[in-house]
Chains A and B, each alone.
Chain A
Amino acid sequence: MKSLLTTLALTTALTLPGLAQARPVTLTTTLSGYGGDGAYLVLYVTDARGAYAGTLWMAGDKSKYYQSLGDWYRATGGNPAQINGITGASVGAGQSLKITLDLADALFDAGYVLHIDAAVEEMRDSPNEIALPLTSAGAGKPVRGRRYIANFRYDM
């Protein structure tokens, strides 16, 4: 069980809309027992038009594997500035990743979508493993990923 409490200076794209308010949000990702090495996961947000808005967390510290997180890599070019200070270890099969972030209120109910790309060595890449609109109503409701994530939920 990984538990992280991080107060973030998020990228401008994420902080600008919420000039006033932010609140702690806990993101919990539990992996299935897929039978492979630790998974690289990246959590990031796109805006209402589908444009990349910013990264919330990168689980996995070897940049040479980031290209396997296909969507995120294409959106950011693997730019290390996007994940500076918000990088942790990869997550083993069957394990959970729990992170708590201060997210701007304006991110919710405004068309923003939270994405998770996943990749495992010697196994298929899974970009867009999860794509979940950020809404106040959606908090606390677990969703299932396409390949590696058994369930994901965010709590406010």
Chain B
Amino acid sequence: MIRALHRWPGLLALVLVTILALSGAALSVFPAAERLAAPQAGAGISVAELAARVQEAYPGVEQIRRAPSGRITAYWFDADTPGSAVIDPATGRGVASADPYPVQRWLTNLHRSLFLGDAGRMTMAMAAAVMLVLSVSGVLLVARRMGGWRRWFARLRGPWPGRIHTEIARVAVIGLALSSATALWMAASTFDLLPDGPAAPALPTEVSGQSGAALATMAPLAATPVAELRELSFPYPDDATDVFTLKTDRGTGYLDQGTGKLLAWAEPTGWQRVSEIALMLHTGQGAAALGLVLGVMALGVPVMGATGVILWLAGRRARPRIRGNHPAKRAATILLVGSEAGSTWGFAATLHGALTAAGQSVHVAPMSGFDPGRYPLAERFIILAATWGEGQAPATAKGFLDRLAALTSVPDAPLAVLGFGDRSFPAYCAFADEVARLAAAKGWARLLPIDTVDRQSPQDFARWGRALGEALAIELALAHQPMAPPTKALTLISRRDYGAEVQAPTAILRFALPEISLWQRLTGRGFARFRAGDLLGILPEGSDLPRLYSLASERRDGFVEIVVRKLPGGLCSGQLLALEPGQKVRAFVRRNPGFHPAPGAAPLILIGAGTGIGPLAGIIRGNRKRRPVHLFFGMRHPDSDFLYGEDLPGWRADGRLARVTTAVSRGAKPDYVQDALRAEGAEIARLIRGGARIMVCGGREMAAGVAEALADFLAPAGLTPITLKARGRYAEDIY
């Protein structure tokens, strides 16, 4: 809801808001320039003194005005010829032209009315209203993104358009909100919607009838410092009934031209004062420094506009149209989507397509539209839910939990929940977990146990799809490719084989580095920059679905290395293990910043089993700074699947690897890597207390066992794997 309130007004009014901001930024310079250029009155000088000086210089003076910048302008008639000038208050003489700057006038008219009169004024007032809506909705979005108001200035994560957008917004929003709110006030005043009309005192009915009092002797003028003056109008030369009109910061009054006495006085109303403050805050007239600050903040608007459009386009690309969506009341399968940036919709579209192809009637809708009364034919519910920030509901799932919690009876049709997330975040799939937990607590029957998709993994999704197909007794093949990255042909240069004797044929495959274009080299894209722990996507023959493998080498090594175990019936692993040197596969690189060793000299504790040693070996090989690395490696049998067994002694000898502890699961005494960890618990706890970082790579069960073991012997130190994760000191790459 808030996101829609931010997106659509922003896109629709993009051009207008940009014109407003740029012209406003340009206009913000003028008050400051005027303040610097105008000769300022000395502190002690009174309006009486000033008026006397001006009158001496210009006997036909009609009016003296003082702008908030301190600039004093006099208007006079000299033998029926009108004259005007900016006055130096020290001499009363003109020093500069009083004509308005054409550029400022042009910019002002563009800024407030696009040169289109009242229609233009209303248009620009609407644009200001949009700006205010964008500011308020933006504030709420930033607070949500950062995970709370207190984290307003916390470090930003994510792709650059969103980062820049938020970075500017969280500083500039205060100025933009102020400028747009005051603009609306001024527009309302211009269109007579506010009771802030001028409070002029009634014209005196009785005047002395005399004229010619000396200005210097007029008590009200002598009592008014120039700093408070706004305007002093002189009576008509030949009209003894006319009066002086004095306007100051404190009010408006009339003075008798014969006696100099104050005849009437009126103070501005509260409304008027508010309007004056709004004018000052908006234009910077009388607050030049603030004006400049607001102007600089306004310059952020075009940048936010551009990044906002990029964000919107990226989200739109990721959110495909659902073709042939069944209406809610006629669908047997209700597919509810909770997506933030839109990528989960892509998975929903794939699922919708596959189910529809299998003859199912499917209704796809955002989770926030969930209403159990609307699905009379529903036979099953499927929820695909991403997680936003630190475990909050994503944009299209707002209110879902509240609605579910408020239900007196849940639907009879069973429910399957699939979470989407990134294991490098502590709150991995936290929202999906919460949905599943609440559904179970409310007694909603389960179609499938909750499952998760890590970093848009096509394999995870396909695996869940098979489980769903079994539950529905249909053939369901979900081939979802989030975005098709350009692939390169990689040529195998060598392979080392392991594990055949323990029924786990595994190979370390080393490919030649492909050719890298100049553009990729400059931008660091593709194979131009990768590190151990990043992912290599491989497109096997006969499938559009890439399989992701952890990279066991970095760019500097000059080759691309992965560790692959042959899975029974595995299409891609089968092809890879059949690969001979000289043959090629199609592949691309995907960054995995959550599984890089953090910079620094702190010791690393690397824990892996089976093929999980791949990225860990790559990290050790790249450890040129010789930081202390302790490797725990679990295998089946040292004679068969001791991956990198030949390399470890060399790495130990040259200091890249400080210690190796192995665990062998097949033998007289089965030993797993978590058992090896426990055996050295005291030493590991000591390292972690000293700042060591932990990286775990391997199967899910092993990772769970490792976390459990660590939790046990870290508890005395007041640490848990979760707190370490939150501090970026515990990284997992699990499959």
Contact = CB atoms under 8 A, between A and B. Distances in A.
A128 B242 CA distance: 13
B601 interface: no
B80 interface: yes
B203 interface: yes
Contacts of B100: 36, 122-123
Contact of A64 (B98, B99, B197, B233): B197
Interface in B12-63: 62-63
A60 B98 CA distance: 24
A108 interface: no
A146 B190 contact: no
A74 B75 CA distance: 20
A37 B105 contact: yes
B257 interface: no
B640 interface: no
A36 B100 CA distance: 8
A122 B196 CA distance: 20
A74 B203 contact: yes
A111 interface: no
Contacts of A124: 62-63, 75, 82, 84, 98
A65 to B, nearest CB: 9
B109 interface: yes
Interface residues of B, number: 28
Contact of B102 (A35, A61, A73, A126): A35
A64 B117 contact: no
A120 B185 CA distance: 22
A147 B197 contact: no
Name the interface size band of chain A.
20 to 34
Nearest to B74: A124
A70 B63 CA distance: 12
B197 A78 contact: yes
Contact of B105 (A36, A64, A146, A147): A36
A77 B105 contact: no
Contacts of A64: 189-190, 192, 196-198
Nearest to B99: A35
B84 A67 contact: no
A62 B200 contact: no
Interface string B210-242: 000000000000000000000001001000000
A120 B217 CA distance: 32
Interface string B103-123: 001000100000001100000
B571 interface: no
Nearest to A63: B192
Interface string B79-101: 01010100000000000001110
B438 interface: no
B63 A128 contact: no
Interface string B188-211: 011110001110101100000000
A124 B100 CA distance: 11
23 contacts: A36-B105, A37-B109, A61-B118, A62-B190, A64-B190, A64-B192, A64-B197, A64-B198, A67-B198, A67-B200, A70-B245, A74-B200, A74-B203, A77-B202, A89-B117, A122-B100, A124-B62, A124-B75, A124-B82, A124-B84, A128-B236, A146-B77, A146-B82
